[in-house]
Amino acid sequence: MTEDDAEGIPDQDPAERKMRFLFALRSRGVTDPRVLQAMERIDRGLFVRGQFADRAYEDTPLPIPCGQTISQPSVVGLMTQALAAGPRDTVLEVGTGSGYQAAILSGLCRRVYTVDRHRRLVQEAEAIFRDLGLYNITAQVADGSRGLPDQAPFDRILVTAAAEDPPGPLLAQLKIGGIMVVPVGQSDAVQTLIRVRRSETGFDYDELRQVRFVPLVEGLGQT
């Protein structure tokens, strides 16, 4: 065996790769066993194509088509954890992107609606959901800044693009007792991930951490 082989093997062995992936998640604060289990089941490698495919198991955001990005796995884990979705919940995700986040939510709740303003991204994600048999996900081309009025209200809403403020229509489509997780702030700067809980009397906000997401853009994309 050459030295190169010895170095190459651990990275290529799927079991070893998965162990490292989960270790990185835990060491960055993803500790909820349900979230870790859901993330263990979904292979991020299926959602990253082309020249970046070999970096799919690194804890880093990566480019996807339409100038968008698949989020960093530990950020996906922390957002999913903060959302605290239960098995009976209906969740709206704004920003399908690669479909990775929606696939993870699929294992944690009853139904996932995911929307993106780019048709190409929705179509590619749908094909992966079909291949994986994730039949509780409905993906749709829509401007998610308006929410999804036909399916509202939602137990949980997860926004994976940065808004200047939590969009009013999304707040309105959150059930009482519901939780929304959304990055807020200027699109080209560091943003703050916030959690909004809706009570009988109003909304409570707490700040979770600094993040960096692509912006929430109004209207539909060209592709």
Residue 6 CB, shortest distance to ligand SAH, in Å, is 34
Q: CA-CA distance, 36 to 104, in Å (whole number)?
A: 10
Determine, following the binding rule CB under 6 A, whether residue 214 of this chain makes contact with ligand SAH.
Answer: yes
Determine, following the binding rule CB under 6 A, whether residue 162 of this chain makes contact with ligand SAH.
Answer: no
Residue 146 CB, shortest distance to ligand SAH, in Å, is 8
Nearest residue (CB) to ligand SAH, 5 versus 131: 131
Piece in contact with ligand SAH (CB under 6 A), picked from 22-30, 34-42, 68-76, 193-201: 68-76
Nearest residue (CB) to ligand SAH, 81 versus 160: 160
User: What does each C-alpha distance from 46 to 55, 99, 100 come to in angstroms?
Assistant: 12, 10, 9
Closest to 17 in 3D by CA, of 51, 56, 48: 56
Catalytic, 71? Answer: yes
Piece in contact with ligand SAH (CB under 6 A), picked from 9-17, 36-44, 113-121, 147-155: 113-121
Using CB under 6 A as the binding criterion, the count of chain residues that bind ligand SAH stands at: 24
Residue with tokens 């970096």: 55
Residue 31 CB, shortest distance to ligand SAH, in Å, is 21
Q: CA-CA distance, 175 to 127, in Å (whole number)?
A: 30
- Active-site entry in 27, 71, 74, 187: 71
Site string for ligand SAH, 167-206 (x = CB under 6 A): ----------------------------------------
Q: CA-CA distance, 221 to 223, in Å (whole number)?
A: 6
CA angle, corner 211, sides to 206 and 213, nearest 5? 115
Q: CA-CA distance, 223 to 208, in Å (whole number)?
A: 33
User: What does each C-alpha distance from 12 to 43, 54, 114 come to in angstroms?
Assistant: 14, 10, 32
Q: Under a CB-based contact definition with an 8 Å cutoff, are residues 96 and 113 in contact?
A: no
Site string for ligand SAH, 87-106 (x = CB under 6 A): -------xx-xx-xx-----
Phi-psi region of 219 (alpha: psi -120 to 50; beta: other; left: phi over 0): left
Residue 171 CB, shortest distance to ligand SAH, in Å, is 15
Q: What is the binding site for ligand SAH (CB under 6 A)? A: 68-71, 94-95, 97-98, 100-101, 115-118, 121, 143-145, 160-161, 214, 216-218
Question: Which residues are known catalytic residues?
Answer: 71
